[in-house]
Amino acid sequence: MSEKNKIGWNFDNSYSNLPKSFIYEISPVPVKQPELVILNYDLADKMGLDFSNIDKEELAKIFSGNSLPKGTKSIAQAYAGHQFGHFTMLGDGRAVLLGEHISKNNQRLDVQFKGSGQTPFSRNGDGRAALGPMLREYLISEAMHSLNIPTTRSLAVVKTGENVIREKPLQGAVLTRVASSHIRVGTFQFIRTRENLDELNTLVNYTINRHYPEISKSKNNAYDLLSKLIDKQIELVVNWMRVGFIHGVMNTDNMAISGETIDYGPCAFMDNYDPGTCFSSIDHMGRYAYGNQPAITKWNLARFAECLLTLINPKKDDALKIATELIDKFDKIYEKKWFDMMKNKLGLIGDDKEDNLLIFELLEIMKKQELDYTNTFLFLMDQEIDDKKNCQNEKFDIWKVKWQKRLTKDSKKLMKVNNPLIIPRNHNVENVLKSAENNDLTPFNDLLQALKNPYTNQKVLTKYQSPPPKSDKKYQTFCGT
């Protein structure tokens, strides 16, 4: 038995069997000198993979694409997307899907390389990725998983031994990403542009069979698929809002039909509470700011609905009316789930007519007093935090008295499972990435370890809980391409 077979790979590649318009068969471009940086043994175990007897040199070859596991059928996926509101044809410009691994729990999981070289969709790009952004995606995606937020995950990062040229030469790297699938709203937009009803039906049926088999016998499966995705995306974004996560690039090609968070480019976490918080260097108008994420989600879902109109009803006007009525339910559903989430964060059990006012009063105080979003809730949970003096003032105290009247004996329990004690704070992330780029992975691994149990008290937490030092310089995140 070969070393790769001992690992336990079990590929069954259904997406590559779709019509040729969906895919382009291509292999990862080999790299000069692969070197393993990190391997996610916890995720590997869940996938039914065993790398314990494989040396680092062989692992580096596997996760760089220099030596592909048996059973892979590597492809670049075609898709389109609205990027900052403007429609464009896209596709995997620096990614290659190796195939679908069937885990020991019978889960079908995409295994994809990111930074694996040029494809027909590269649009003059080099198809490569830098070490920093790939480690950022590894760190943040694993943190999101531990925060109980649906997400793609990261299996490995390998250095390529080659530089990539951005503003300056940077170390090249390949990330291995694992996802329920990489089908996006943009995938449907691409197929819609082809005006081929058979292909659209194929994609709808494939997506339902893969992600939502419970609606496979529906009388109107396109309508039910839209309805499912509305619920999934609302739950996802409410979770983002719960922990102060800002995706940063919510283009339609970055909305996964599975309901998982996908693409950790210019993502960041909010420090001081402000709905207008936006860190992305390419988001000049704040389109994807923290407080805009629900509205953008609804906008993206409307674009998805447009792709399905013909299947929802053959009569154009009727289809538009039906889809619009469904999309218009978004606000009410989101509002209810968001209020429930905020009540959970505040330990408000049961219903009280003053709860909504209580929530908005706190958020207004937090914004005006520039209070740290995460640490304000920790202060209310009686956690020791460095910046607690910021929450000790007359206006906050008056609000706190009203809040305390609503608490029950189970309130703190509820708060503990909804308020993380630690998030990947931006300044901490930048510090560990800088060390990693200088070949010191210890700070990265320390932070990664702390983020594995974000709802549990750990001795190491205090050094990661403080907001960033005051600075006149605005923090910015970058796309990484």
Active site residue ranges? 253
One-letter amino acid for residue 305 of the chain: A
Please give the Cα distance from 185 to 474 (Å, whole number).
32
Q: What is the CA 426 to chain-centroid distance, rounded?
A: 16
Cα distances (Å, whole numbers) of residue 187 to 207, 223, 417: 11, 17, 35
The single-letter DSSP state of residue 115 is S
CA 36, 445, 272, 145 dihedral sign is positive
Please give the Cα distance from 242 to 198 (Å, whole number).
40
Residue pair 136/159 in contact (Cβ under 8 Å)? The answer is no
Residue pair 120/425 in contact (Cβ under 8 Å)? The answer is no
Tokens matching residue 176: 């291995």
Tokens matching residue 223: 């309508």
Q: Which long-range contacts (CB under 8 A, 24 or more apart) does 220-227 make?
A: 220/312, 221/311, 222/308, 222/311, 222/312, 223/308, 223/312, 223/322, 223/323, 223/326, 225/308, 226/301, 226/304, 226/305, 226/308, 226/312, 226/323, 226/326, 227/326
The strand ranges marked E within 127-244 are: 129-130, 153-165, 169-179
Please give the Cα distance from 153 to 248 (Å, whole number).
18
Angle at 188 between CA 185 and CA 193, to 5 degrees: 130
